[in-house]
Structure 1
Amino acid sequence: MLVAAAVCPQTPLIVTGLPELRAACRTAVAALRAARPDVLVVVGGAETTRSYDGAAAGTLRPWGFDVTVGEGAPVLPLSLTVGRRLLNDPEPPSGPPPATGAEGVPAQVLARDAGGVPAQAVAFAAAPAECRAIGAGLAALGRVALLVMADGSACLTPRAPGRYDEAAQPYDDLIAEAVGTADAAALAALDPVEADRLWVTGRAALQVLAGAAEGTPLTGTLLMRSSPYGVGYFAAVWS
């Protein structure tokens, strides 16, 4: 059963820049840990679908950041590497104090270190039904929390990585509304063809979340939304 979820951007810039968005992601991660899940899983898009155990390593060196998670040869895709890094973010959250557990212990220390957190990659091109099935399988593991790494459209402005498209903003609005209200049905209905055209790399991961949350009464909060480089970034919590 899915007991909590967080949606954060997969951009490597979240590691060293974008301080307000990074702080919102820390708040989202704290909420996941405050839910005291039996299992915490990082979910993100990749070229192929596969699972990784908690010992798998990843690096951001190809993107110009001397940041590595785990030990051994780096095998994690970008999205899962950034997610694992967020789980071990050394800086305290800004704003109000983090949520605490029943014994008053800060939520950040209620979960095991991110080095033991398994990860699930889902192919960018995976069909919606396949994504939802992966999510349902994760939700069946027990009391599960998901850290979902997902960007919106990369076609929001003329200087965006993708070619500017006036349809990108409405599509991003739809995603923001869905992650902000825990609307699993809306995420499940995302059109993969349109998502591909608008460079929505987070579509498959969001539909894994939809599959995990199906039939679960969660509420959502959109902590922050931004698009500083013409790419849609979201930080949201479902609980």
Structure 2
Amino acid sequence: MIVGAVVAPHPPLLLPGVGGGTGGDELRDVRDRAVQAIRDLDRRGIDTWIVVGGVPAAATTTTNDGIPFAGIAPWPGRTGGSLPLSLAVGISLLDAAEVPGTVSLRGIPFDATPQDCQGAGSRIASVEGRCALLVLGDGSARRTKASPGDFDADAEGWDDIVDGALRTADTTALAALDPADADRFLAAGRAAWQVLAGAFAGGPAPTADGTCFTAPLGVAYWVTTWSPGDGPGQPS
């Protein structure tokens, strides 16, 4: 049972020991908001936090239930080893929030198809117990001339679509994101967001709360919390 989900970015500056451990002044607020969102959701009584992040295809294997994963589960609550960046950032945020439950890592290949991503999300939603998702993903990295990637005038418009979907918990809009567009704009969050869409699709329409958007380094970052709705079910 999915009790809720926190969406957060995964720039390396959020890792402990990098940029002063909090990403310096530019990303301090992003990290603080993500940690607080995790703490707030954890108060609902979470047995297991499932960390979902995009990873290189070579970093994943497949469990018997068909869900891609990377790393180990449960995780003992510390960073280390050679985890892919998204999952390492997720673990660091959960550590900072001091969540007491177990942690399971689920890495989805960056190039996974939308159908595979949504299928993985659907299977994650069937996990027993009270579970929460921590979904790691960055938006476009081509918004400005200061961005890591070359400036693309269409990048901001693509981020606007993602922004609307995350702010309104629109699973259909997330599911419709084109992998080719995500590649063009160097957006590392597409696959993980589509796992999120799959986890909430088919049930009552979810709601989003406390959405924060920022792009201090020319890369789009969001922090938001999704909660299951109590209305009629959505189409699968």
Question: Normalized against structure 2, the TM-score is what?
Answer: 0.81
Amino acid at match of 1:69: T
Q: Counterparts of 2:109 and 2:220 in 1: how far apart (Å)?
A: 20
Q: Counterparts of 1:55 and 1:137 in 2: how far apart (Å)?
A: 18
Which one of 27, 32, 38 corresponds to residue 23 of structure 1? 32
Aligned to 1:79: 86
Cα distance change, pair 221–81 in 1 and its aligned pair in 2 (3 A): same
Amino acid at match of 2:96: D
Aligned to 2:191: 204
For 1:53-202, list aligned pairs within 5 A: 53-54=72-73, 69-70=79-80, 74-89=81-96, 111-112=100-101, 116-142=102-128, 143-202=130-189
Amino acid at match of 2:13: L
* Displacement of 1:54: 3.3
Q: Counterparts of 2:10 and 2:207 in 1: how far apart (Å)?
A: 23
Q: Counterparts of 2:76 and 2:12 in 1: how far apart (Å)?
A: 15
In structure 2, runs of 5+ residues without a counterpart are 16-21, 62-68, 228-236
Is the contact between residue 46 and residue 77 of structure 1 (CA under 8 Å) also seen in structure 2? yes
Q: Counterparts of 1:224 and 1:231 in 2: how far apart (Å)?
A: 14
Runs of 4+ aligned structure 1 residues displaced above 3 Å come to 54-58
* Displacement of 1:181: 1.4
Matched, 1:8 2:17: no
Is the contact between residue 39 and residue 141 of structure 1 (CA under 8 Å) also seen in structure 2? no
Deviation readout 1:125-152 (Å, 9 max, x if unpaired)? 0000000011111100023210000000
For 1:25-64, list aligned pairs within 5 A: 25-48=34-57, 49-50=60-61, 51=69, 52-54=71-73
Of structures 1 and 2, the one scoring higher in RCO (CA 8 A, sep 6+) is 1
Aligned to 2:233: none
Cα distance change, pair 158–57 in 1 and its aligned pair in 2 (3 A): farther
Q: Counterparts of 2:210 and 2:179 in 1: how far apart (Å)?
A: 23
* Displacement of 1:57: 8.5
In structure 1, runs of 5+ residues without a counterpart are 59-67, 91-107
Is the contact between residue 6 and residue 235 of structure 1 (CA under 8 Å) also seen in structure 2? yes
Q: Counterparts of 2:9 and 2:76 in 1: how far apart (Å)?
A: 19
Is the contact between residue 76 and residue 103 of structure 2 (CA under 8 Å) also seen in structure 1? no
RMSD: 1.9
Matched, 1:228 2:216: yes
Amino acid at match of 1:22: R
* Displacement of 1:3: 1.8
Deviation readout 1:128-187 (Å, 9 max, x if unpaired)? 000001111110002321000000000110121111111111111111111111111111
SS of residue paired to 1:89 = helix
Aligned to 2:65: none
SS of residue paired to 1:118 = strand
